[in-house]
Amino acid sequence: MGKARSAAAAALVATLIAAGGSPAYADDPAPLAVTSTGLSEGQVVGPSLLFHPVWSEGANVTKVEVYADGVLSYTALNWTAGLCLRLSGKQDGTEELITIRAYDSTGAWAEASTHVVVDQTPPTATISPVGGSLVQVGGVLTVNATDVSDDLAEMSLYGNNGVTVASVTSAPWTITYDTVGGPQRVYVHVTDRAGNTREYAGYQIDNQPPTIGDPTGFRGRVGRVSGATHLDIPLSGGANHIEVRVDGTLTESWDGGHSPTSYGTTNGADIDYNFGTTPRTATVDVLVRDVAGNTATKSFALIVDPTGPTITSLTPANGALVRGSTIYFTIHATDPDGVAYPEVNGCYCPSGPDRLFVAAGADGSKTLVFRVYDNLFNFTTATRTVIVDNTRPTLTITSAPKNGAHVKGTVKINAAAADRNGVARVELLINGKVVAQDVTAGYSFAVNTTKYGKTFNVQLRAYDRAGNVTTTSTRTWHR
Q: Residues interacting with Ca ion, by CB under 5 A?
A: 119, 121, 151, 192, 206, 208, 290, 305, 307, 335, 337, 374, 378, 389, 391, 419, 464, 468
Closest distance between Ca ion and the C-beta of residue 47, in Å? 11
Closest distance between Ca ion and the C-beta of residue 310, in Å? 9
Nearer to Ca ion among residue 179 and residue 468 (C-beta) = 468
Contacts of 326 (CB under 8 A, 6+ apart): 357, 358, 359, 360
Nearer to Ca ion among residue 36 and residue 307 (C-beta) = 307
Alpha-carbon gap, residue 273 to 251, rounded angstroms = 7
Nearer to Ca ion among residue 138 and residue 159 (C-beta) = 138
| For residue 23, cis peptide bond before it (omega within 30 degrees of 0) | yes
Nearer to Ca ion among residue 58 and residue 268 (C-beta) = 268
Contacts of 259 (CB under 8 A, 6+ apart): 134
Closest distance between Ca ion and the C-beta of residue 329, in Å? 21
Q: Is the dihedral of CA 306, 307, 309, 315 positive or negative?
A: positive
Q: What is the DSSP letter of 196?
A: -
Nearer to Ca ion among residue 59 and residue 417 (C-beta) = 417
Nearer to Ca ion among residue 108 and residue 116 (C-beta) = 116
Nearer to Ca ion among residue 207 and residue 449 (C-beta) = 207
Closest distance between Ca ion and the C-beta of residue 457, in Å? 26
Closest distance between Ca ion and the C-beta of residue 119, in Å? 4
Alpha-carbon gap, residue 151 to 44, rounded angstroms = 10
Nearer to Ca ion among residue 104 and residue 419 (C-beta) = 419
Name the β-bridge partners of 164.
Answer: 158
Contacts of 43 (CB under 8 A, 6+ apart): 114, 116, 117
Find, among 190, 151, 200, 184, the residue nearest to 167 by Cα.
190
Helix (H, G, I), strand (E, B) or coil at 179: coil
Contacts of 433 (CB under 8 A, 6+ apart): none
Nearer to Ca ion among residue 251 and residue 307 (C-beta) = 307
Do the beta carbons of residue 111 and residue 18 sit within 8 Å? yes
Work out the end-to-end distance of the chain between its first and last CA atoms, rounded to an integer number of angstroms: 169
Closest distance between Ca ion and the C-beta of residue 260, in Å? 18
Alpha-carbon gap, residue 356 to 1, rounded angstroms = 119
Rounded (10°) CA dihedral 128, 130, 134, 137: 0
Nearer to Ca ion among residue 100 and residue 376 (C-beta) = 376
DSSP letters along 240-292, please?
A: -EEEEEETTEEEEEEE--B-SS-B--EEEEEEEEE--S--EEEEEEEEEE-TT
Q: How many CB atoms lie within 10 A of CB 255?
A: 13
Closest distance between Ca ion and the C-beta of residue 164, in Å? 19
Closest distance between Ca ion and the C-beta of residue 103, in Å? 35
Q: Is the dihedral of CA 403, 405, 409, 412 positive or negative?
A: negative
Nearer to Ca ion among residue 390 and residue 457 (C-beta) = 390
Closest distance between Ca ion and the C-beta of residue 194, in Å? 6
Closest distance between Ca ion and the C-beta of residue 477, in Å? 30
Closest distance between Ca ion and the C-beta of residue 352, in Å? 24
Do the beta carbons of residue 113 and residue 8 sit within 8 Å? yes
Find, among 274, 283, 299, the residue nearest to 247 by Cα.
283
Closest distance between Ca ion and the C-beta of residue 123, in Å? 5
Nearer to Ca ion among residue 419 and residue 438 (C-beta) = 419
